Amino acid sequence: MTEALLRYDAVARSLHWTIGALIVVNLILGIGHDPLGAVLPAMPIHKAIGMTVLVLSLARLGWRLTHPAPALPAHMPGWEKAAAQGMHWAFYGLMIALPMTGWIFSSAGKYPISWFGLFDIPKLAVEKGSALASVTNEAHEILGYAWVALLLIHVGAALRHHFVVKDGMMARMWG
């Protein structure tokens, strides 16, 4: 098989690592916003990164739908292939659902949703105290913690493939 068929292309790799880094930073800011708020404006940064993740994720999803992923190795058992594909599609769902739930419930707040102080992102028509604001706030928090768990599983699986199975799986997304 040629290297092009074994690896993700440069656009997919760039989007993967950029979005991945932004997500890790945003999970830290979101979960740790109370103590971090004393040192830096954690929530405005969190919101700006979240909107960036949303835009990049939509681009990534579009790229993924038009540029299929390399085939998984034949030696992988069916359950592992299904788990890998399920995890990736769960990540796409979270990359869109988490910023969307944040945008929805932040729209009901009194503070603007600023993109790094450069411009304000329009608020959606959501009223403070509404059921929609409440549900999306709760969903945002639950999905954030779920993402931490899935991210740990994803990283653990990648490390397992690299150090234990030694099948070159990490090289597919590595430089």
Question: Within its chain, how far is the Cα of 78 from the centroid?
Answer: 25
Angle at 136 between CA 94 and CA 64, to 5 degrees: 20
pLDDT tens digits, one per residue of 17-67: 999 999 999 999 999 999 998 899 999 999 999 999 999 999 999 999 999
Instruction: Count each helix (H run) and each strand (E run) in the chain, helices first.
Output: 6, 2
Is the Cα dihedral 126, 130, 133, 139 positive or negative?
negative
**In degrees rounded to 5, what are phi and psi of residue 169?**
-60, -40
Asked if the model's pLDDT at residue 5 lies above 80, the reply is no
Asked if the model's pLDDT at residue 175 lies above 80, the reply is no
Q: Say if residues 50 and 42 touch (Cβ distance below 8 Å).
A: no
Tell me the β-bridge partners of 121: 113
Whole-number mean pLDDT of the chain? Answer: 94
